[in-house]
Amino acid sequence: MKILDVIILGAGASGLMCASNISKKKSVLIIDKNEKIAKKLKVSGGGKCNITNVSVETNNFDGDSELVTSVLKRFSKDDLVDFLDRNRVTLEIRKGRYYFCQQSSDEIIDVLKNATKKHEFTLNEEIIALSKEDDIFTLKTKTSLFYAKNIVVATGGKSFVNLGASDIGLTIAKSFDIEVKEFTPALVGLTVQKEQFWMKELSGLSCYVKIKVADRVINEEMLFAHKGISGPAILSASLYWKKGNMSINFLPNVNILELAEGSKKLVSSVIPLPKRLSKELLKAVDLIDKECKKLSSEDKKKLSQLHSYSFAPAGNFGFTKAEVSRGGVVSNELDFNTLESKNVKGLYFIGEVVDITGELGGYNFQWAFSSAYICSKAIK
């Protein structure tokens, strides 16, 4: 019976980063059910991977802020950018915020491939279960049994099953009595209730908005879609929306009452948005389109609702469309310095399987890489 030093479950962003930083003196096996490594990384950011952000703060993450701070302190955004720079990956900054690969996400995948070639891979192998006896883990896959002294669970979340996603990480955690929060879709479009079906009629249109949700304010583009609402603003809002109302300012950069004041134009012509959208917005706030000059004070109250249109979404587009899964192994179960389970020695959890979820904008890869790095340094 061959007993390995480490088996890493999952050849995605975190699993590969962890393997990259473990010495070749150790026997390391990386297992994945896909026929290729890093499938999510490959398609991310439209094939150019939004790897991190110029500003990475604890409050860009949903989850235990102490854990996030502790992990980012030891492998920060600058450490990630340096790591890629040392490996000749040229990044570009888009919209003054987002780090993307200049050519393609293959640049990062090639770095990880190169850094892990000292280790063994078993691909096309589905992980089924994990158990432990006398300090040795037994990993059961669809076709074999593997044995190791340490296990790193890097199996990610449940979004995009076609890219290999599963909740095996949570199944494994639960089998060791480790507390988890079930996965729910996040960074995902939202469906709307009957009162907001007008939004679906605008499918294809987008506009810059300011959204208030829970205690967060998001300034980004939203997109009207045939299933509901989407685009960066809504994806970010979905991370913080659990249920109840959110509020959208459709005109964050102007004061509509000032624009309309004394004008002989129709209200719909004064609203600086596409005509189709302006007309639907007026209907939504129950205001008949008319000359601005003729607006009563009641009408003005309705018009000002365009700055704070409050409504309750119905739900979300689900795991098939969600960029990430919120939930995972709860922070209390983990040693913040190593990401090792407090109760099961030699069992580590990294990446999206941990109950930390980043906002849109490169934060989830940052978490995957940072958590992987500190775990790799902890494996003795």
Our finding on whether 351 is near ligand FAD (CB under 6 A) is yes
Among all residues, whose Cβ is closest to ligand FAD?
12
Q: How far is the CB of 364 from ligand FAD (least distance, A)?
A: 3
Q: How far is the CB of 93 from ligand FAD (least distance, A)?
A: 14
Q: Please name the helix (run of DSSP H) or strand (run of DSSP E) that holds residue 298, with its range, or none.
A: helix 297-304
Tell me which residues in 6-45 interact with ligand FAD (CB under 6 A).
Answer: 10-15, 31-34, 39-40, 43-45
Instruction: List b or e across 317-353, with b for residues whose CB sees 16 or more CB atoms inside 10 angstroms.
Output: bebebbbbbbbbbbbebbebebbbbeebebbbbbbbb
Q: Where are the beta strands (DSSP E) in 111-177?
A: 120-122, 127-133, 136-141, 145-153
The residue from 8, 30, 49, 178 that contacts ligand FAD (CB under 6 A) is: 49
Which residues are CB-neighbours of 83 under 8 A, at least 6 positions away?
Answer: 369
Determine the Cα–Cα distance for residues 377 and 380; give it in Å rounded to an integer. Answer: 8
Q: What is the phi/psi pair of residue 70, to 5°?
A: -65, -40
Nearer to ligand FAD, 10 or 228 (CB): 10
- Which of 155, 191, 236, 341 forms a contact with ligand FAD (CB under 6 A)? 155
Distance from C-alpha of 99 to C-alpha of 54, rounded to nearest angstrom: 7
Residue 73: CB minimum distance to ligand FAD, A: 19
Strand bridging mode 61-63 / 91-94:
unpaired
The distance of Cα 253 from the centroid of its chain, to the nearest Å, equals 28
Distances (CA, A) of 270 to 254, 255, 262, 273: 11, 11, 11, 9
Which of 331, 364, 370, 376 contacts ligand FAD by CB under 6 A?
364
From 362, 370, 373, 375, residue interacting with ligand FAD (rule: CB under 6 A): 362
Which C-beta is closer to ligand FAD: that of 141 or that of 247? 141
Please report, as a single letter, which amino acid is at residue 378: A
Q: Residue 224 Cβ, how far from ligand FAD at the closest point, in Å?
A: 21
Among positions 29, 91, 137, 164, the unique one binding ligand FAD when judged by CB under 6 A: 164
Helix (H) / strand (E) containing 30:
strand 28-31
Among 111, 365, 370, 373, binds ligand FAD (CB under 6 A): 365
Collapsing DSSP states into helix, strand and coil, what is residue 285?
A: coil
Q: Is residue 112 within 8 Å of 89, Cβ to Cβ?
A: no
With contact defined as beta carbons under 8 Å apart, do 64 and 360 qualify? no
Binding mask 268-307 for ligand FAD (x = CB under 6 A): ----------------------------------------
- Does 166 bind ligand FAD (CB under 6 A)? Our answer is yes
- How many amino acids of this chain bind ligand FAD (CB under 6 A)? 38
Considering the complex, what minimum distance in angstroms separates the CB of residue 15 from ligand FAD?
A: 5
Report CA-CA distances (Å) from 209 to 73, 156, 201, 236: 33, 31, 18, 12
323 touches ligand FAD (CB under 6 A):
yes
Greatest alpha-carbon pair distance for the chain in Å reads: 86
Between residues 299 and 359, which has the closer beta carbon with respect to ligand FAD? 359
Of 116, 159, 278, 316, the one binding ligand FAD (CB under 6 A) is 159
Nearer to ligand FAD, 164 or 305 (CB): 164
Amino acid identity of residue 152, one-letter, is V
What values do phi and psi take at 240, rounded to 5?
A: -105, -15
Candidate segments 58-66, 255-263, 340-348, 363-371, binder of ligand FAD by CB under 6 A: 363-371
Q: Which of 324, 329, 356, 375 binds ligand FAD (CB under 6 A)?
A: 324
Closer to ligand FAD by Cβ: residue 346 or 362: 362
Letters for 114-153 (x = contact with ligand FAD by CB under 6 A, - = none) are ------------xx--------------------------
The amino acid that residue 244 corresponds to is G
Residue bearing tokens 């890489």: 369
Residues in the site for ligand FAD, rule: CB under 6 A? 10-15, 31-34, 39-40, 43-45, 49-50, 126-127, 154-156, 159-160, 164-166, 168, 323-324, 351-353, 362-365, 368
